[in-house]
Amino acid sequence: MFYRLKQFYWGVICSFKSIDYEFLKMYLNEEELNLFSKLKTNEMHHCIRVAKSALKFAEDIECNDMSKNYFIKACLLHDIGKIGINISTVDKSLLVIVDKISRGKIKKYNNIKKIDVYYNHPKIGYNILKPYGYSDEFLYLILNHHNHDIKDNKNLNILIRCDSIN
């Protein structure tokens, strides 16, 4: 609940804060920056916060399949499935509440674009990034970043953790 309130606060405040492009440029190439800048301002801030939190877990990042920088890139792009849709901070809070009350039953109203993106943006993001030739492990992180049942992927667990506190 505390994090939800914090998320709401950030959502409102962040519309006025400038984007940390210096940080972005360390991890994203021009094409990725282009894609990233299609996100709503507060989504961009969220993704940057997630990536910066993930850096604090740097020692735990499994580097066998992917380098640290590549993992941070995945953290920055994890919500890329939200591009082109405007889910406001108020919409998001409402969706979280209705989701809790209905125990996820609103999922089936996926003909409503905002509901569809809210639930399916990991899959949408996966489909957006797939043609660019990222590794399977990278795409796996994007696709599963809301799947809290997967416990055996260290990098995914870091991403999920950092996502939920930011």
The one-letter code for the residue type at 113 is: K
3-state secondary structure of 10: helix
Cβ nearer to Fe ion, comparing 64 with 117? 117
CA atoms within 13 A on the CB side of 149: 0
For residue 112, the minimal CB distance to Fe ion (Å) is 18
* CB-nearer residue toward Fe ion: 8 or 64: 8
Contact residues: Fe ion, CB under 5 A: 79, 163
| Cα of 12 vs its chain's centroid, Å | 18
Asked if 54 and 72 touch (Cβ cutoff 8 Å), the reply is yes
The least CB distance from residue 33 to Fe ion, in Å, is 18
- The CB-of-107 to Fe ion minimum distance in angstroms stands at 15
- SS3 labels along 37-64: CCCCHHHHHHHHHHHHHHHHCHHHCCCC
Q: Which is nearer to Fe ion, 61 or 163 (CB)?
A: 163
State how far the Cα of 47 lies from the Cα of 163, in Å rounded to an integer: 8
Smallest gap from Cβ 124 to Fe ion, in A, equals 10
Nearer to Fe ion by C-beta: 68 or 161? 161
